[in-house]
Structure 1
Amino acid sequence: MFRVKEFAWINILKPNFKILPIKDRLLCGIGALLGLSLSSFMSWLALGHLNAWYIAPMGASSVLLFAIPASPLAQPWNMVVGNSIAALIGVTCALWIPNQTEAFSIAVALAIVLMMSTDSLHPPSGAVAITAVLGGKAVQDLGYAFLFYPVLLNSVLLMVVAILYNRLLGKQYPQPPQLNTRTADPTPTQKVSIQPADIQQVLEAQSQLLDISEYDLQKIILEAQHLANRRSISQFCCADIMSAQVISLCADEPIQTALDKFKQINLMSLPVVAKVEGAEHLVGTLALYDVVEWFKRAADPKATWEEHVYQIMNPQVVTVKPQQPIQDLVPYFVERSFNYIPVVDDKKLVGMISRADMIAALNQQIYQMQKTT
């Protein structure tokens, strides 16, 4: 009987890759099924008279778009531009190089160079270049039209399905640029920790491409550092620092009344509650700028007249639980410039934490750390 250690060398061959839960794996497979089915059906409707209405490399593209949509290689630019470049090079090589082996070898090599030069590297595009050379009579008859159909048509259709499906699952696709929108400076957390320039300097020293964006890499490092910092200090929980006496708005009260409250307490936003079985459940937030926008709409005779708070409030609210550590709130106050965060227990509004509450608590933690050193 072989011992497990004798097979330990196999781990060298395996990727250091996270295995998703079975639910997420099934969702990735379902996404590929829907993407390929819908895009191929629409291609068939558009190009049913052609034998080459769909190409096999789209199967490889679906692996990227639905299984790892956060990969830089799976972004729409890479999908569309990479496949288009490969198709153009492949058709050109097929027309001018008689030997097929030489034709598809040169086509793939040139496609790689051009894709890397245009920041549109997409691995399945290598198969697109080969298909342009070895696709048979149906592809050869198309000539340069092969670039537009089926390649560009397939790519755009599959990309659209991927965007809709991933967003339906709550995934960001395509990946938005993650920048400090206020200034060109690093974000407040980055200033006292790892900065984008640090990541760029390390990556520039690498001689190979990494299948992860600079921002994602930076985000992972910062979150790991945040967890490490939490272990090194005593923690307050949200219930320790929250204000239990909360000024709120009722969902069905008039907007004019809400404006009066804003004038009295000089706050930029207030939580909105609704009575459910005698308890005040948090249902949204109303910011002062929402009221200003309401005034602008009210001046337009064509606009519908809105009278109650629930008609203009924001129902999407970031909340925390009473026993949650306050370190979880730092990214919202620092990176996203929140002024207040509601504390909710079983949908009931039980308190509010302000930026001042956080500063006082963190200052106390710093003081305690200095006493112990």
Structure 2
Amino acid sequence: MFHAKSAWLNTLKPNFKVLPLKDRILCGVGALLGLGLSSFISWLALGDLNAWYIAPMGASSVLLFAVPASPLAQPWNMVVGNTLAALIGVTCAMFIPNLTEAFSIAVALAIVLMMTTDSLHPPSGAVAITAVLGGEAVHDLGYAFLFYPVLLNSVLLMVVAIIYNRLLGKQYPQKAQVNTRTTDPTPTQKVSIQPADIQQVLEQQSQLLDISEYDLQKIILEAQQLASRRGTSQFSCRDIMSQQVIYLRAEDDIQSALDKFKQVNLMSLPVVSDLDRLVGNLALYDVVEWFKRAADPKASWENHVYQIMNPKVVTVQPDQPIEDLVPYFVERSFNYIPVVEQKRLVGMISRADMIAALSQQLNALQQYNH
């Protein structure tokens, strides 16, 4: 009996991922900071105005900090949706005496107009109601309600959301497409499911989906990579890595690093500490940018590699399957990936190493099929 009730209750739940406790707390902290900072700045700007902050911003904060990847949470939706809803709400409050009719019509028109302008933002429905039922303080503002507090609150909360999500490593606003270098499909997409295929399926949908085309592309690409890993894997990173690695020392002089670039004819080199621990990566363009700053007295202190290197490096472990490396070489155009063990640089895998290994696997698979 209990199991039957539990199964019935589960049908009422959304098919939604429950984030780990740490991430849930960070979402709550983001909303706390966003609402606190934006309301404080609004209060400073508007002084003793009674309507210095509006309740729908609380609903907007749920989207901006809990589900920033949602199309409904993007800056265009936040700012344009709220502003349009305020415009319609104020107009209905002015010309429709009956409050029930006024806020009902305001919300209905706001939905239609937001969907028409691709700015659908659910909390904006509450903005329209606030414009009608906000009382004398809101009604006295008239159309100024659009600019303050609605537009002011929206922009401030959005700015805090952008900064906070970026600090957490989340992409907000969302990118328009997976391939950041060109509008063409990624190499993997060219031989599998392309963005045009996704667009065609979405156009046939009769209802809005709360997921962006960008996220759909990422999910499909990652699912394809997982599926490919289920195939027979013959090599690990240890099998194909080069153990004699050309590298720079963190304390090396930048000029000597440039000389090494000339000798080896490479575009970037790993940087290690005295204990051979990988601490960064130095690209040739980093050196070029250093030369551009050489005339600036503020940059005169930059003399060593560690001062201009990039400390964030993508690495792999020796026992990882080489299939894990494919997205970096194919989608992100890496030239090499360092192999580390207990933070020490133990090898390097180049694009040529990957091509040779994958070619060997393909030949083996063809022979097996025949």
Q: What aligned pairs does 1:49-60 form with structure 2 within 5 A after superposition?
A: 49-60=48-59
Q: What aligned pairs does 1:328-339 form with structure 2 within 5 A after superposition?
A: 328-339=324-335
5+ long unaligned stretches in structure 1: none
CA distance, structure 2, for counterparts of residue 318 and residue 182 of structure 1: 19
CA distance, structure 2, for counterparts of residue 223 and residue 68 of structure 1: 20
Residue 220 of structure 2 is aligned to residue 224 of structure 1: no
Q: Secondary structure at the match of 1:155?
A: helix
Structure 2 letter corresponding to 1:363: S
Residues 178 and 218 in structure 2, CA contact (< 8 A), matched pair in contact too: no
What is the Cα deviation at residue 7 of structure 1?
4.1
Q: Secondary structure at the match of 2:266?
A: coil
1:17-66: CA deviation from partner (whole Å, max 9, x where unpaired): 01111111111112112211222222222223111111111111111011
What is the Cα deviation at residue 312 of structure 1?
2.0
1:178-200: CA deviation from partner (whole Å, max 9, x where unpaired): 35344432111110111000100
Matching residue within 296, 304, 329 for 2:300:
304
Q: What aligned pairs does 1:41-120 form with structure 2 within 5 A after superposition?
A: 41-120=40-119
Q: Secondary structure at the match of 1:209?
A: coil
What is the Cα deviation at residue 327 of structure 1?
1.2
Structure 2 letter corresponding to 1:226: Q
Name the residue aligned to 1:202.
201
CA distance, structure 1, for counterparts of residue 245 and residue 43 of structure 2: 60
Name the residue aligned to 2:350.
354
Name the residue aligned to 2:140.
141
Name the residue aligned to 1:341.
337
Name the residue aligned to 1:177.
176
CA distance, structure 2, for counterparts of residue 302 and residue 17 of structure 1: 51
CA distance, structure 1, for counterparts of residue 48 and residue 299 of structure 2: 49
Structure 2 letter corresponding to 1:177: A
CA distance, structure 2, for counterparts of residue 86 and residue 264 of structure 1: 63
Name the residue aligned to 1:287.
283
Residues 248 and 272 in structure 1, CA contact (< 8 A), matched pair in contact too: yes
Name the residue aligned to 2:188.
189
Distance 1:292-1:201 versus aligned 2 partners, 3 A rule: same
Name the residue aligned to 1:21.
20
Name the residue aligned to 1:254.
253
Residues 298 and 305 in structure 1, CA contact (< 8 A), matched pair in contact too: no
Name the residue aligned to 1:263.
262
Q: Secondary structure at the match of 1:280?
A: coil
What is the Cα deviation at residue 302 of structure 1?
7.1
Structure 1 letter corresponding to 2:100: T
Name the residue aligned to 1:315.
311
Residues 282 and 305 in structure 2, CA contact (< 8 A), matched pair in contact too: yes
Distance 1:36-1:297 versus aligned 2 partners, 3 A rule: closer
CA distance, structure 2, for counterparts of residue 285 and residue 7 of structure 1: 53
Structure 1 letter corresponding to 2:207: Q
Structure 1 letter corresponding to 2:205: Q
What is the Cα deviation at residue 146 of structure 1?
0.7
1:83-134: CA deviation from partner (whole Å, max 9, x where unpaired): 0010011001111111111111111111111111111110000000011001
Name the residue aligned to 1:326.
322
What is the Cα deviation at residue 300 of structure 1?
5.6
Distance 1:210-1:290 versus aligned 2 partners, 3 A rule: same
TM-score where L is the length of structure 1:
0.95
Name the residue aligned to 1:368.
364
Residues 35 and 157 in structure 2, CA contact (< 8 A), matched pair in contact too: yes
Distance 1:260-1:12 versus aligned 2 partners, 3 A rule: same
TM-score where L is the length of structure 2:
0.95
CA distance, structure 2, for counterparts of residue 27 and residue 303 of structure 1: 37
1:291-339: CA deviation from partner (whole Å, max 9, x where unpaired): 2222333356775263222222222211111112211111111111110
CA distance, structure 2, for counterparts of residue 244 and residue 148 of structure 1: 63
Name the residue aligned to 1:31.
30
CA distance, structure 2, for counterparts of residue 22 and residue 302 of structure 1: 44
Q: Secondary structure at the match of 2:346?
A: strand
Residues 233 and 321 in structure 2, CA contact (< 8 A), matched pair in contact too: no
Count of residues in Structure 1 that have an aligned counterpart in Structure 2: 369
What is the Cα deviation at residue 15 of structure 1?
0.7
What is the Cα deviation at residue 159 of structure 1?
1.1
After the TM superposition, which of the residue ranges 96-105 and 285-294 deviates more from structure 2? 285-294
Q: Secondary structure at the match of 2:97?
A: coil
Residues 100 and 134 in structure 1, CA contact (< 8 A), matched pair in contact too: yes
CA distance, structure 1, for counterparts of residue 2 and residue 154 of structure 2: 48
Distance 1:43-1:268 versus aligned 2 partners, 3 A rule: same
What is the Cα deviation at residue 251 of structure 1?
1.3
What is the Cα deviation at residue 142 of structure 1?
0.8
Distance 1:328-1:78 versus aligned 2 partners, 3 A rule: same
CA distance, structure 2, for counterparts of residue 68 and residue 213 of structure 1: 12
Residues 344 and 351 in structure 1, CA contact (< 8 A), matched pair in contact too: yes
CA distance, structure 1, for counterparts of residue 297 and residue 12 of structure 2: 69
